[in-house]
Structure 1
Amino acid sequence: MSQPAHKQNALWSLISGVGWPLMFGLGMSAVFYALLLKGPLHHPALVRYFAGHPINMIETTLFCVGIAGLVLKALDVLRQQSSLGGVTLGEQAGPQPVSVVGELLDKLAALPKKVQESYLGRRLCQGLEIVERNGSADRLEEELKYLSDMDSNRQQESFSLIRIVIWAIPMLGFLGTVTGITDALSHLGGSLGNHADGGNGMEAAMQGLLSGLYVKFDSTAIALCFSIFLVFIQWGIDYFEIELLAQVDSRASQELVGRFEMVGASSDPQLQAIHRMTQLVVAGTEQLVLRQAELWQQSITAAHNSWQQVQQQTGAQLQAALTASLGEVLQQHAVNMAHIEQSSTEQVQRRWEQWQGTLSENAKLLYAQQQEMSRQGELMTQAIRASGEVVQLERALNSNLGALAGAKNFEETVMSLAAAIHLLNSRLGRSDAAHLDLNSQSRSRAA
């Protein structure tokens, strides 16, 4: 630790040992008298014992200061006890060189501030500083014993304010009693001078003295009660803090003793000098190794940066070459695609013209077929009409045949009818089968 840190710790110890108890004690006494004089604690007996005389009020204020100091001390002991488990230097893997003290100090410096300021944290830090300053751990146990005695002295000095309060309160009580007796005796002398002419005056003065003395002894009684209470509380806290210091001594020995390499007896200065020289050589070698490692690291970093630059340049060149090659390939591909598209368009155009010609011919054929079908429809219509006329003629012939059946010139009539039928068949363009059918019908009817 540096010198300013020691000054800060001393200032903090002064504030925590005297300042805070005074502040909290005065605040507690102010609150108490506010409740006593104007609050729910206002009672004649309480007012008599705690506010019957200014000395009683001073005693009560000092008692509040002592209680505040003991409470703060108890809280500090509890904090110190809880911080024991959070301070450690790690497991001991055999004797270590003294050169690792800096790493251990850095490890302690990384702990929280309250843990560093605890008994164990301060003890370990001071022990490591001693080892680092001496360059060896030969006298570490003696130094730890000295540090333990120093902590014990600090522990006893931390109760200085409490001891002063415990001593001052009875003194104030006796002072209040003495001043009360003095006041009573002075009043007694005055009363005797006023009543010197009779025994009744002496009796009245003694009664006044006795009635006032019991009130004057209240300050002594209250002071003794306060002192006894503070003594018992101080004893309890002192006992627990002594046990805490014993645990700190044990933990400090476990953490530091046997952790570092021992050179030999402290009475052998030559061996110690050789050991220090060896440590200096080792430290110088370590520095050279670290320097060489840094140079290697710088060389590797420079080579890496050069490799990155070469890689970037190569990548840029490769990208440019690929871009140019791909541009030419894509341009040639576009030209080929244009030729293919043109030839495909021409083929599609020729096929479309062929299909258009074919569709035109088919349309013409369909039109011709439509004309032919129209003509066939007209012929069918004419045939249907002719069929109707044939039916009428057939009916007429049948009636004529029926009429001519009994005539003499039947053969001539039949021949004329056959001629008429032949003429009708020629007009209708009917087949010979129908003609024969009609003749056969006519013959059968004629028969």
Structure 2
Amino acid sequence: MSSTTSSAPRNRTGWGRSATVWVAGCALAILFYAAIPFVPVYQAELQRYFCAHWIEYVTTGLFWVGVATLMQKGWRIPAERAILAAEPLDGLSPLGGESPPQTVERITAQLRLVARRAQSTQLVQRILDVCDYVRGRRSTDGVEGHLSYLAELASSRLQDSYALIRMVTWAIPILGFLGTVIGITLAIANITPDQLESSLSDVTAGLAVAFDTTALSLGLSMLLVFGTYVIERQEQQVLDAVEDFARQDLLPLFPGPSASSGPLMQAESQAAAQLIQQTEALVSWQMQEWQKSLDGLRERWSGTLERQQAYLNEALQSGLAHTLADHTQMLADVRRDFLAAFEQAATLITQQMTAAETSFKELQAAGAQVLQETREQGRADREADRQLAQQMLGELAGAVHRWQQQLQETTHAMTGQLAELRQQGGILLRIVEQEEQLVRLEDRLSRNLEAVRVVESLEETLLNLNAAVHLLTSKTRAKAA
């Protein structure tokens, strides 16, 4: 027992690898969401199925954790197949008269030639585990059983290594169903019977969350299931190849000890044979006693069951008769009560419908009267608005006419000033040499130019007023019509 424990295989799993998987999965999820804005196609679908709700973020994150787990496992498969193809123990053969520790040393020296990356493979670790077992026992006794134990342990560890990916594959559809429940709850909560049209968008948004999260979770879980199937098959094939190598190449290097034929072995064989004979006789006697006890117990049970069956039949017949009579009476009472209640309900409903019809007719008449009054009031308001608009148009037309007269008078005055300006220009040519008169003429010329600018601004104002009058007239006519 101590030797088996001391040569137990190395445990190559731990929290460090799980933490690495989680960190890698989170990093992949972050890179995925960072790349979504730069995807040139299917941008609307990516935003809808991956960025519309917090459940979609969680589902996507778990999916990438599962992908990181499969990537970590798939990364080791090429190295496993490479070391199997290299056959690290090729050239080694059992030597006569060689002790088991010497064989272990030869195997260990051969493994030192293997690349560093291959030191952590399943094949190398299996060989080292067998060497540790033989080195601890200093004998090849039980090597074949230990190989079977290592094979079962490796298979169990392989199944345990898929616990995280199976948990993720199970959790992703559950998150999808949770999103379905949340979406349907939101849709039901946003339904308002009084405002169906305004609340329809909120209802459809809730249903979109329900179905989008379900579709996303089912799709991602299917991808993980197929990926897990492929990687697990590959790892299982590697383990089968390692087991074949251990049976065909490694086990012949450790031949079992030859059996001894001394007196002690003969005495042990005789004692074992005698013990087996006595045990067989004891077991046979015990079986006969058990068979007699079982036969007696069966007979007693048969008699008891027959008596109980007869008693039960009588009790059932009498009980069914009383029950059927009570049930018939109860049905008659229920039918009579139901008919009476139905007649009362029908009478009450008829009265309520008559009262509701009378109330509806009264409300309809009141509504028609209110509608007629509203129409008359609206017609009177439109007539008052039309008269007010005509009055305002008349006043505006009079003001525009006065502005036109003032503009004409200003224009005539400006024309006289322009004629005078021309005369002053001629005089200016004659008195160029007189500096004081030239200054006065320049000042007067500046004032005249300012007057011309005023005339131009007045003309522009007049054009804007005419446009406003035409626009207001057209709107008034359209409103009156």
Q: How far did residue 212 of structure 1 move? A: 3.1
| Structure 1: segments with no counterpart, 5+ residues | 196-200, 272-447
Report deviation, 1:178: 0.9
Equivalent residue, structure 2, for 1:332: none
**1-side partners of 2:260 and 2:56: how far apart?**
61
Question: 1:15–1:90: structure 2 CA closer, same or farther, 3 Å change rule?
Answer: farther
CA separation in 1, counterparts of 2:39 and 2:226?
A: 30
**Rounded Cα–Cα distance in structure 2 between residues aligned with 1:99 and 1:38:** 63
Query: Equivalents in 1 of 2:185, 2:260: separation in Å?
Result: 68
Which residue of structure 2 lines up, in the alignment, with residue 56 of structure 1? 56
Q: 1:252 to 1:62 in 2, by over 3 A?
A: same
Could you list the per-position Cα deviations for residues 282-318 of structure 1 after superposition, in whole angstroms to 9, with x for gaps in the alignment?
Answer: xxxxxxxxxxxxxxxxxxxxxxxxxxxxxxxxxxxxx
Deviation at 1:180, TM superposition (A): 1.4
Cα pair 1:50 1:56 within 8 Å, conserved? yes
Aligned partner of 2:111 in structure 1 is 108
Amino acid aligned to 1:98? P
Cα deviation, residue 143, structure 1 = 0.7
Give the secondary-structure state (helix, strand or coil) at the position aligned to 1:262.
coil
CA distance in 1, matches of 2:125, 2:94: 23
Counterpart of 1:130 (choices 113, 129, 133) is 133
Deviations 1:417-439 (A, max 9, x none): xxxxxxxxxxxxxxxxxxxxxxx
Aligned to 1:239: 233
The amino acid across from 1:130 in the alignment is: Y
Q: Which amino acid aligns with 2:89?
A: T
Give 3-state SS (helix, strand or coil) of 2:139's partner: coil
SS in 1 for 2:253: coil
Change (3 A) 1:120 1:37: same
From the CA coordinates, give the structure whose radius of gyration is larger. 1
Q: Which position in structure 1 is the counterpart of 2:31?
A: 31
Q: Which runs of 5+ in 2 are unaligned?
A: 266-481
Are residue 187 (structure 1) and residue 181 (structure 2) matched? no
* Aligned CA distance change for structure 1 residues 267 and 19 (closer, same or farther; 3 Å): farther
Cα distance in 2 for partners of 1:206, 1:42 equals: 26
Q: What is the identity, as a one-letter code, of the residue corresponding to 2:129? A: Q
User: Is 1:87 equivalent to 2:81 in the alignment?
Assistant: no
Code of the residue aligned with 1:260 in structure 2: it is F
Q: Structure 1 pair 43/10, CA: closer, same or farther in 2 (3 Å)?
A: closer
Shift of the 150–202 alpha-carbon distance from structure 1 to 2, 3 Å rule, reads same
Q: What SS is found at the alignment partner of 2:75?
A: helix
CA–CA separation in structure 1 for the residues paired with 2:64 and 2:13: 25
What displacement does 1:140 show?
Answer: 1.1
Q: Do the aligned partners of residues 41 and 202 (structure 1) sit closer, same or farther apart at CA in structure 2, a change above 3 Å counting?
A: closer
> 2:170 corresponds to which residue?
167
Count of residues in correspondence between the two structures: 258
Structure 2 match to 1:98: 100
Is residue 2:224 matched to residue 1:230? yes
Equivalents in 2 of 1:77, 1:23: separation in Å?
A: 22
Q: Tell me the TM-score normalised to structure 1 length.
A: 0.52
Q: Distance in 1 between matches of 2:217 and 2:13?
A: 32
Q: Any conservation in 2 of the 1:123–1:147 contact (CA below 8 Å)?
A: yes
TM-score, normalisation: structure 2: 0.48
Secondary structure of the equivalent of 1:257? Answer: helix
**What is the aligned-residue identity percentage?**
32
State the shift of 1:89 in Å.
6.3
Larger RCO (CA within 8 A; separation ≥ 6): 1
In structure 1, how many angstroms separate the alpha carbons of the residues matched to 2:220 and 2:54? 16
Q: Against the structure 1 CA distance between its residues 266 and 55, is the aligned structure 2 distance closer, same or farther, given a 3 Å change threshold?
A: farther
Q: In structure 2, what is the Cα distance between the partners aligned to 1:29 and 1:211?
A: 25
What is the root-mean-square deviation in Å for CA atoms of aligned residues?
A: 3.2
Q: Structure 2 CA distance, aligned partners of 1:104 and 1:207?
A: 74
Q: Find the counterpart in structure 2 of residue 394 from structure 1.
A: none
Cα distance change, pair 103–228 in 1 and its aligned pair in 2 (3 A): same
After superposition, residues 61-76 of structure 1 pair within 5 angstroms as 61-76=61-76
